[in-house]
Amino acid sequence: MVHDGLEGIAGEEIVQTLGGMVKRSGAGIVVFRLEDIDRSILQLRTTEDVFLFAWGTDELSYRAKDLDSIERWTARSAPWDVLLKIHHAVTPKPRGKTTYRLVAQMTGVHGYRRIDALQAVARGLAGKLPASWKYADENASVEVWLTIHGAMAICGLRLSDRTMRHRSYKHEHLPASIRPTVAAAIARMADLKPNQSVLDPMCGAGTLLAEAYLSTRGKRTTGGVDWPMHFLGGDLDKSHVRAAQVNLRQFHIEDLRVWDARDLPLEDASIDRIVCNPPFGKQLATPEAVVPLYRESVREMQRVLRPGGKAVLIVADAKALRSAVERVGWKEQRHAQIRMLGQRALIALFRKEPRSQA
Ligand X SMILES: C[S@@+](CC[C@H](N)C(=O)[O-])C[C@H]1O[C@@H](n2cnc3c(N)ncnc32)[C@H](O)[C@@H]1O
112 touches 119 (CB < 8 A)? no
Say whether residue 176 binds ligand X (CB under 6 A).
yes
Query: Which is closer to ligand X, CB of 103 or CB of 176?
Result: 176
Q: What is the rounded CA–CA span in Å between residue 299 and residue 327?
A: 8
Q: What is the rounded CA–CA span in Å between residue 64 and residue 159?
A: 30
296 touches 262 (CB < 8 A)? yes
Q: Between residue 100 and residue 119, which ones bind ligand X under the rule CB under 6 A?
A: none
DSSP string, 111-129: SS-HHHHHHHHHHHTTTTS
Per-residue contact flags (x/-) with ligand X for residues 215 to 254, judged by CB under 6 A: --------------------xxx--x--------------
Say whether residue 181 binds ligand X (CB under 6 A).
no
Candidate residues 2, 104, 155, 174; the one interacting with ligand X per rule CB under 6 A:
174
Helix (H) or strand (E) holding 22: strand 21-26
Between the CA of residue 148 and those of 111, 140, 142, what are the distances in Å? 13, 22, 20
- At its nearest, how many Å lie between ligand X and the CB of residue 241? 9
Query: Which is closer to ligand X, CB of 160 or CB of 207?
Result: 207
Query: Which is closer to ligand X, CB of 5 or CB of 156?
Result: 5
Say whether residue 208 binds ligand X (CB under 6 A).
yes
- At its nearest, how many Å lie between ligand X and the CB of residue 39? 27
Residue closest to ligand X (Cβ) = 204
The residues near 170 (Cβ < 8 Å, ≥ 6 apart) are 177, 180, 205, 207, 210, 247
Say whether residue 177 binds ligand X (CB under 6 A).
yes
Q: Which residues bind ligand X (CB under 6 A)?
A: 174, 176-178, 202, 204-205, 207-208, 235-237, 240, 260-262, 277-279
